[in-house]
Chain A
Amino acid sequence: MNLDEAALRHAYETMRLMRIFDETGRREFLAGNLPGFIHMYCGEEAIAAGICAHLTDADYIASTHRGHGHCIAKGCTIEDMALEIFCRRDGLCRGKGGSMHIADLEKGMLGANAIVGGSAPLAVGAALKIKTRGDSNVAVAFIGDGASNQGTVFEAMNLAVVLKLPAIFAYENNGYAEMTGVDYHCGSGDIAARAGAFGMPAHKVDGTDYFAVHEAMAAAVEHARAGKGPVSIECVAPRWYGHFEGDPQAYRTKEEIAELEQTRDPLTLFRERVMAESTLTEADFAAIDAAVSERIEAAMDAARKAPLPEPADLYTDVYEVYD
Chain B
Amino acid sequence: MAKITMREAINQAMRLEMARDPDVILIGEDVAGGRGCPVDDKEAAGGVMGVSAGLYGEFGAARVIDTPITESAIMGAAAGAALTGLRPIAELMFADFFGVCFDQVYNQAAKFRYMFGGQHGAPMVVRTMVGAGMGAGPQHSQAIYPIFAHIPGLKVVLPSGAYDAKGLLIQSIRDNDPVMFCEHKMLYGEEEEVPEESYQIPLGEARVVREGSDVTVVALGRMVHLAVEAAGELEEQGISVAVIDPRTISPLDVDTILDSVEETGRVVVVDEATPICSMASEIASMIVSDGFSSLRAPIRKVTAPHTPVPASPVLEAGYAPTAASIREAVEAVYNYR
Contact = CB atoms under 8 A, between A and B. Distances in A.
Contacts of B177: 319-322
Nearest to A314: B114
Contacts of B114: 96, 317-318
B115 A97 contact: yes
B113 A317 contact: yes
B86 A128 contact: yes
Interface in B107-161: 107-108, 112-121, 152-153, 155
Given A115-B108, A124-B76, A152-B104, A159 B67 contact: yes
A162 interface: yes
B80 interface: yes
Interface in B244-271: 251
Interface stretch (A2-10, A86-94, A269-277): A86-94
Interface in B159-194: 175-177
A125 B82 contact: yes
B68 interface: yes
The number of chain A residues touching the other chain, given as a range, is 35 or more
Contacts of B74: 159
Given A97-B116, A159-B67, A318-B153, A132 B204 contact: no
A112 B82 CA distance: 17
Given A121-B80, A319-B155, A93 B72 contact: no
Contacts of B155: 319, 322
A128 to B, nearest CB: 5
Most chain A beta-carbon contacts within 10 A, residue among B76, B83, B107, B113: B76
Contact of A132 (B63, B76, B153, B251): B63
Given A60-B84, A121-B75, A159 B68 contact: yes
A139 B83 CA distance: 13
A95 B117 contact: yes
B292 to A, nearest CB: 23
A94 B119 CA distance: 10
A323 B117 contact: no
A321 B67 CA distance: 32
Contacts of A132: 23, 25, 62-63, 81, 86
Contacts of A316: 118
Nearest to A156: B73
B78 interface: yes
Contacts of B32: none
A152 B76 contact: yes
Interface stretch (A103-111, A170-178, A248-256): A103-111
B85 to A, nearest CB: 6
A128 B68 contact: no
Contact of B76 (A91, A111, A121): A121
A69 to B, nearest CB: 19
B70 interface: yes
Contacts of B77: 121, 124-125, 128, 156, 159
A107 to B, nearest CB: 11
Contact of A125 (B67, B81, B113, B116): B81
B66 to A, nearest CB: 9
B83 A122 contact: yes
A126 B113 contact: no
A163 interface: yes
Given A121-B80, A132-B25, 8 more contacts: A93-B116, A93-B119, A110-B84, A121-B75, A129-B86, A132-B86, A163-B67, A321-B177
28 contacts: A93-B119, A96-B115, A101-B115, A105-B116, A115-B108, A118-B107, A118-B108, A121-B73, A122-B80, A122-B83, A124-B76, A125-B81, A126-B81, A132-B25, A132-B86, A151-B72, A155-B70, A155-B73, A158-B68, A158-B70, A159-B73, A163-B67, A316-B118, A317-B114, A319-B153, A319-B155, A321-B175, A323-B204
